[in-house]
């Protein structure tokens, strides 16, 4: 296919939809060659999604990145910073008070346990415990100390009521209950702590009560029996 024809084919494809898979690109360009596909899209500039294992592609001119450098089409995310790892590093580095996993999950619409662990291991970001959660901070010690201090000040000013678990931790608790239905809140807390996922007993009890989980009833029954 001539260069002008391949560019016209790409224009038609992306005029119909803003994202494409490799199979879409092969079909539009009439080739089974991955090399030919990437030679064609490289001429006009393209980006790969940081979500969905990089399965989606778009042209450089299509995304309208927000102030964070992020653009989403439905649940597919693209970043001006490139890969998921690079994006997490930039977001953490630029944050005033670091990020919890739950906060990053909301920002990026992904669970990031493995990514965060590998970034900490590679010393590209840091991790500090603040209250009952891990805070991901800059790899630069001076910046990290300032982020932790701002977070602690924010926590100190927060209401004293039991904080609601962030979405990631709530999911962790519910998954643990599914796999270990006989566990009460205390056992769930211990199990997650052993995996490096810190939650408070009051928060887990709050979640058990909200969903009327059986472990909560057992814990209450034991408590009543112990008072007899």
What is the model's pLDDT at position 226?
Answer: 44
pLDDT of residue 214: 61
Spell out the SS3 assignment of 106-120.
Answer: HHHCCCCHHHHHHHH
How far apart CA 90 and CA 69 sit, in angstroms, is: 9
Three-state SS for 46?
Answer: strand
Residue 5 CB neighbour total at 10 angstroms:
12
The dihedral built from the CA positions of residue 35, 41, 46 and 49, taken in this order, carries a sign that is negative
Q: What is the pLDDT of residue 150?
A: 93
How far apart CA 136 and CA 166 sit, in angstroms, is: 15
CB neighbourhood size of 137 (10 A)? 25
pLDDT digits (tens, 9 = 90+) for 206-221: 777 776 666 544 444 4
Q: How far apart are CA 222 and CA 207, in angstroms?
A: 19
* pTM of the predicted protein model: 0.68
Mean pLDDT of the chain: 87
pLDDT of residue 73: 96
3-state helix, strand, coil in the chain (%, to 5): 55, 10, 30
Q: What is the predicted pLDDT for the residue at 110?
A: 92
Per-residue pLDDT 10s for the chain (228 aa) are: 556 788 899 999 999 999 999 999 999 999 999 999 999 999 999 999 999 999 999 999 999 999 999 999 999 999 999 999 999 999 999 999 999 998 999 899 998 999 999 999 999 999 999 887 899 999 999 999 999 999 998 888 765 555 677 777 888 888 888 888 888 888 888 888 887 778 888 888 877 777 666 654 444 444 444 444
């Amino acid at each position: 296919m001539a260069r002008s024809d391949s560019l016209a084919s790409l224009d038609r494809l992306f005029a119909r939809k803003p994202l494409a898979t490799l199979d879409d690109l092969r079909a539009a360009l009439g080739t089974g060659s991955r090399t030919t596909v990437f030679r064609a899209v490289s001429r006009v500039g393209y980006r790969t999604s940081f979500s969905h294992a990089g399965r989606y592609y778009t042209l450089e001119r299509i995304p309208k990145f927000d102030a964070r450098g992020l653009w989403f089409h439905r649940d597919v995310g693209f970043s001006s910073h490139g890969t998921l790892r690079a994006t997490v590093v930039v977001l953490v580095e630029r944050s005033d008070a670091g990020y919890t996993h739950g906060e990053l999950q909301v920002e990026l619409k992904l669970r990031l346990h493995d990514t965060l662990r590998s970034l900490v291991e590679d010393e590209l970001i840091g991790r500090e415990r603040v209250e009952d959660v891990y805070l991901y901070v800059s790899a630069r010690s001076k910046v990290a100390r300032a982020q932790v201090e701002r977070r602690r000040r924010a926590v100190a000013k927060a209401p004293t009521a039991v904080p609601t678990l962030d979405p990631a931790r709530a999911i962790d608790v519910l998954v643990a209950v599914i796999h270990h239905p006989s566990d009460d809140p205390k056992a769930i807390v211990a199990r997650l702590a052993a995996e490096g996922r810190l939650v408070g007993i009051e928060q887990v009890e709050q979640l058990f009560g909200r969903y009327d989980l059986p472990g909560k009833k057992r814990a209450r029954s034991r408590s009543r029996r112990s008072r007899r």
